[in-house]
Structure 1
Amino acid sequence: MATAYHAWRGEPDAGAYADEPGFCKAASMEEVAKHNYVLTPGRYVGAGAAEEDGEPFEEKFDRLTAELRAQFVEERRLEKEIEARLEALE
């Protein structure tokens, strides 16, 4: 991270600066003016390239939804256990 900043500043030991989608961009004043001087990074930096993992969306969605539901069940179990232990301390 720091290297990108130092390269952007033109420091010789940092190497050449280059915009990197999802990480950094040197926006011109004209570009910032087009966005009414709003400095939200996403307007300029954008998103990085998404990595394709080869898992079809529908399968991934189902798998992640099942994991989330299992975590909700575990959350409720742990919450009950914490409440029981707190009651024991009273």
Structure 2
Amino acid sequence: MEKICCVYSHYVLANYKTEPCKRPPRLCRQGYACPQYHNPRDRRRNPSIFKYKSTPCPHVKQNDEWIDPTVCESGDGCKY
């Protein structure tokens, strides 16, 4: 059982919110718990493809406020 949980955890880390939800907007019954994203603010880059840093992008987090991630000019190529 422990091995299954470990494999599942790696799967979730690699895939959670990296793909858009296939249901039409507002018709997903899972809401925010859905493993896919419903808007650009929820989207994550796939960590097996893109590198992440523990420091947030200064274009996306200003002071203590999170801004829409699409404002970063580097897009998916952001070094953060």
TM-score of the two chains, using structure 2 as the length reference: 0.24
Rg larger for: 1
Bigger relative contact order, structure 1 or 2 (CA pairs below 8 A, ≥6 apart): 2
Question: Which structure shows the higher strand fraction?
Answer: 2
